[in-house]
Structure 1
Amino acid sequence: MLPFSSLEEAAASLGRPLTHAETLWFRYSATMPDYFIYFIIFFLFFWFMVLCSLPLALIEAMSPKLVNKFKVQPNVRIPFSRVLQCYKDVFIIQLIAITPIESIFIPFFKLMGIRTSLPLPSLWPEVAVQLLVYMLVEDYGVYWVHRLMHSPWAYDKFHRVHHEYTAPIGICTNYGHWVDILILSLPTVAGPAIAPCHVLTFTAWLFLRQLQAVESHCGHDFPWSPNKFIPFYGGAEYHDFHHYVGKSQSNFASTFTYCDYIYGTYKGYQYRKTCLANMKRTLSIEGNLQMLQESSHDLKSQ
């Protein structure tokens, strides 16, 4: 709840007129307790999480030819009934386990320093720098937590559920044992805990992280994917290998690839890429030789 009773009082406290965005935020949150602000954000995030992967799932179900050429595992087709079941399972686990637990821990966000007050942060450099820091902290944290979840006990007990999808789809980023989901979400809040921010920045970070997670699990390597433009970005092809192998010891990072390269957990992925490249080269050479032989035969027959 903002400590101002009017726009004029807020402007006097800041020593300047409120921006349009700050006026809207004042009217929205002035009389709303902080707990409800946080709760509404998690409520919106819940629906964003469920719905942001839906368009690709519908396209693949209704017109698979539009996206099949981009599939990382083109020979694997997940029935739409199983896709719907995955949505149902995610919805249930989020509703009965994750959301209630998050609601209990909401007061800790205020203790972490995530503020709801005025002024609003500037997009540049404040929000941009904070989001970059959060991405790097989260990526490094997920690498080690994820690697821990692939230890024999943790994998068999919890993380194997997430790997039931060896050819991942977008929604399965949130599919798994509730303990696994909570543990792997800890690095997501580590950045804001280290470098506190405004609640709107925190919201933007949650949505950005979800979009990245869906992209890495979507099973399609699109030409406009961030991995084509952002250095060391993993993307769908990189994470798809992690699911394809199953009880893998490769590709643990969530966003970037540098941790896997530094700590040597990229070698299985690199070996497979090399083998595939050699296979394509061999097939290309054989195809060219066959074409030459056919051309030679045609010339002789003439």
Structure 2
Amino acid sequence: MLPYRSLIEAEVALGRNLTYAENLWFRYSASMPDYLLYYHNFVFLFLIFTLAPLPIAVTEIFRPSIIAPFKLQPKINLPPSSFLRCYKDVLTAFCLIVVPLQLISYPSVKLVGIRTSLPLPSAWEILAQLVVYFLVEDYGNYWIHRAMHSKWGYEKIHHVHHEFIAPIGFAAPYAHWAEVLVLGIPSFLGPALAPGHMITFWLWIALRQCEAIDTHNGYDFPFSPTKLIPFYGGAEHHDYHHYVGGLSQSNFASVFTYCDYIYGTDKGYRFQKAHLQKQLREQWAAAQQKGIETANHEAKFD
């Protein structure tokens, strides 16, 4: 809730006219309690989880040939019932775990200093904070995920997430309730260390969810704009982790690849990638040689 009774009062307090975005924010949030603004996360998470994986899921079920060339594990094709079961299970966990956790966590948001007031942050401020949030979350998630692959962690908790050997977008948050709770810590650590505006916090939650869905969609699209992000792992990097399964000691990072490279937990992945590239080069060379031999044979009889 903003401490201004009118736009004029807000402009006097700031010493300038409000921007268009600030004008919209004032009209929307001036009389709304801060805790209701924070609870918008429920809606954002639900809509993103429901809608973001839908295009690829629908295409895979009804027109799989369109995206088949980009599928990372082409031998595994899940029936529609698996997609529906995954969605229902995650939605249940969302209602029973995520929503209650968000309801009781508002005091911590106020404590760390996430604000709803004017002025709104600049685009550069938002970008800088989002970079910090992603780096902090990625580093923390790496070590938690790595711990989950200990014998006890995997057998008691993390095996649930690995039920999908070939992951799908809906399976991004598919996990044991304890894992859902623990992985929320690094997600909140960035905003706690570098608190910003509520809009930045909303954007962070939305982008992190979109990223998780992207890395679990099971397809490596060469035209994806995420290919332009330095050190971004994407679906190809994380799909290998699911492919290896419970024995995997590789590709623990959630977003970027630098932790796996620094700590040597991507050696298996890099070896497999190099091996596949070698096979492709050999197949290309064999096809080229066969073409030359065919051309020479045809020229001989002309």
Q: Same fold (TM over 0.5)?
A: yes
3-state SS in 2 of match to 1:174: coil
3-state SS in 2 of match to 1:233: coil
Residue 44 of structure 2 corresponds to residue 70 of structure 1:
no
Residues 62-90 of structure 1, C-alpha deviations (whole Å, 9 max, x = no match): 21111111111122211111111111111
Amino acid at match of 2:150: S
Aligned mates of 1:36, 1:107 — CA distance in 2: 12
Instruction: Give the match for residue 224 of structure 2.
Output: 225
Q: CA deviation at 1:201?
A: 0.6
CA contact (8 A) 1:225 1:235 kept: no
CA contact (8 A) 2:160 2:176 kept: yes
Q: CA deviation at 1:219?
A: 0.7
Q: CA deviation at 1:118?
A: 0.9
Task: Show the 5 A alignment for 1:118-267.
Answer: 118-123=118-123, 125-247=124-246, 248-267=248-267
Q: CA deviation at 1:179?
A: 1.1
Structure-2 change in CA distance of 1:16 and 1:289 (3 Å): closer
Structure-2 change in CA distance of 1:236 and 1:110 (3 Å): same
Of the structure 1 ranges 186-195 and 274-283, higher mean CA displacement relative to structure 2 is found in: 274-283
Aligned mates of 1:275, 1:119 — CA distance in 2: 54
CA contact (8 A) 2:44 2:206 kept: no
Residues 173-213 of structure 1, C-alpha deviations (whole Å, 9 max, x = no match): 01111111221222111111000000001101111111111
Amino acid at match of 1:245: V
RMSD over aligned Cα atoms: 1.8
Amino acid at match of 1:57: A
Aligned mates of 2:84, 2:172 — CA distance in 1: 14
Instruction: Give me the TM-score of the superposition, normalised by structure 1.
Output: 0.93
3-state SS in 1 of match to 2:39: helix
Instruction: Give me the TM-score of the superposition, normalised by structure 2.
Output: 0.93
Residue 30 of structure 2 corresponds to residue 21 of structure 1:
no
Residues 125-183 of structure 1, C-alpha deviations (whole Å, 9 max, x = no match): 21111111111111111111111111111111111100111111111101111111221
CA contact (8 A) 1:227 1:234 kept: no
Of the structure 1 ranges 272-281 and 85-94, higher mean CA displacement relative to structure 2 is found in: 272-281
Aligned mates of 1:8, 1:28 — CA distance in 2: 16
Q: CA deviation at 1:243?
A: 0.5
CA contact (8 A) 2:48 2:210 kept: no
3-state SS in 1 of match to 2:3: coil
Structure-2 change in CA distance of 1:3 and 1:283 (3 Å): same
Aligned mates of 2:277, 2:171 — CA distance in 1: 29
Structure-2 change in CA distance of 1:187 and 1:226 (3 Å): farther
Instruction: Give the match for residue 80 of structure 2.
Output: 80
Q: CA deviation at 1:225?
A: 2.3
Structure-2 change in CA distance of 1:7 and 1:292 (3 Å): closer
Structure-2 change in CA distance of 1:300 and 1:9 (3 Å): closer
